[in-house]
Amino acid sequence: MHIDLSGRVVLVTGATGDLGRVMVRTLAACGADVGIHYHRNVDMAEELRREVAALGRRACTVKADVSEQAGVLAMRDRLRADLGDPDILVNNAVIQYRWTRILEQDPADYEGQYRSSVLHSVLMAQAFVPAMIAKRWGRVIGISTECVMQNHPTQSAYVAGKRGMDGVLRCLAREVGEHQVTVNQVAPGWMISDRDRSAHSEVQAGYTASVPLQRRGVDQDIANAVAFLASDLAGFISGAWLPVCGGNVMPSI
pLDDT of residue 1: 79
Instruction: Return the domain boundaries, the chain.
Output: 9-243
The verdict on pTM exceeding 0.75 is: yes
Q: Provide the terminal-to-terminal Cα distance of the chain, rounded to the nearest Å.
A: 30
The neighbouring-strand residues paired with 10 are 34, 88
109 φ/ψ angles, rounded to the nearest 5 degrees: -70, -35
Would you say 140 and 122 are in contact if contact means Cβ atoms under 8 Å apart?
no
What is the Cα–Cα distance from 123 to 200, expressed in whole angstroms? Answer: 38
For residue 167, the model assigns a pLDDT of 98
CATH 3.40.50.300 at 9-243, yes or no: no
Q: Which helix (H) or strand (E) holds 44?
A: helix 42-54
Which residues are known catalytic residues? 158
Q: Residue 83 and residue 51: Cα distance in Å, rounded? A: 16
How far is it, in rounded angstroms, from Cα 221 to Cα 215? Answer: 13
> 112 with 96: CB under 8 angstroms?
no
pLDDT the model gives residue 253: 85
pLDDT at 153: 97
CA distances from 230 to 23, 138, 159, 186, 214 (A): 11, 8, 25, 11, 28
List Cα–Cα distances, 51 to 46, 55, 59, 89, 128, in angstroms.
9, 7, 9, 20, 25
* Residue ranges for the chain with pLDDT beneath 70: none
Of 70, 10, 20, 11, which Cα lies nearest the Cα of 40? 20
From residue 58, alpha-carbon distances to 8, 39, 51 in Å are 11, 20, 10
Mean pLDDT of the chain: 97
Residue 101: the pLDDT is 98
What is residue 63's three-state secondary structure?
Answer: strand
Number of H helices, E strands in the chain: 10, 7
Q: How many CA atoms lie within 13 A of 231 on its CB side?
A: 19
Which residue type sits at 31? G
